[in-house]
Amino acid sequence: MSSVSSVSVESGGQSAETSSEISEEGQPSPTAKARLPSPPSRQTVRRRPRHRAVPLPQPVQVPLLPRAFLPKRAIGCSDFASVAHPLPEGFVQPSVTSIDSQGREIDSRIVGAYNSLVNAAKADGINLYPISAFRPTAPRFPFLTQGSSGRENEGYSDPVAEAARHVAKPGTSEHELGLAIDFNSVDEENFKNTAEAKWLAAHCAEYGFVIRYPEDKESVTGIIYEPWHVRYVGTENAKRMTELNMCLEEYVDYVGSGNS
């Protein structure tokens, strides 16, 4: 004959009641089964799907004309000098660095570009050397007066205006910016057909320079063709100006109108 007893079992900090059948001899019945609490049923847990990391779109990099070469009216900057855009009163002259044994100087920021240009020419058997570079702002009316006298003798009706096509008035020369360089010779007839002039015209844009006063742009620049005179505008701008066949005045207006 068997009896049923109830035993309280502590398991894992929880009390579980078991029931077993015990025989008269005090031994558990072979058919006895512990009545343990059934484990809690597993509930299906829906996991949120993992989203793949999607990179955020990068902002479009719009090439902009460097500050120094934007239209003055757009930023009020003075790094643009011409008859139509004279330097303002109080213009601060640039920090300059000497580039030859004669003490000629250019804006310190473009010395590397200048050296690259000259060295590349030398590698091609072309000897480029500066004959004029940075000129501090100073009255040049004596030059105009002297130049106009010569033009008057040549029969020009407005000798001063004619002289201005050859000699820049104070505040209108890019030499005052330190961004312009005259190479080898300022004699158009003797220089324009030389190997140096041809190399300069073909390669200067690769180093950020342009022929500032092109042969077919005198009506825009107001200055005669000067194949020896280069102006630094930056490599990207120089190449774009060459592609568009624009002088600096045209290109500044082009970019200032929202083009690129």
Q: What residues are labeled active site?
A: 226
- Give CA–CA dist 84/221, Å, rounded: 9
How is residue 37 written in tokens? 């609490």
Gap between the Cα atoms of 172 and 2, Å rounded: 122
Query: CA–CA separation, 153 vs 176, rounded Å?
Result: 30
Nearby residues of 228 by Cβ (< 8 Å), 6 or more positions away: 131, 182, 183, 184, 185, 186, 191, 197, 200
Q: How many CB atoms lie within 10 A of CB 130?
A: 20
For residue 173, the tally of other CB atoms under 10 A from its CB is: 20
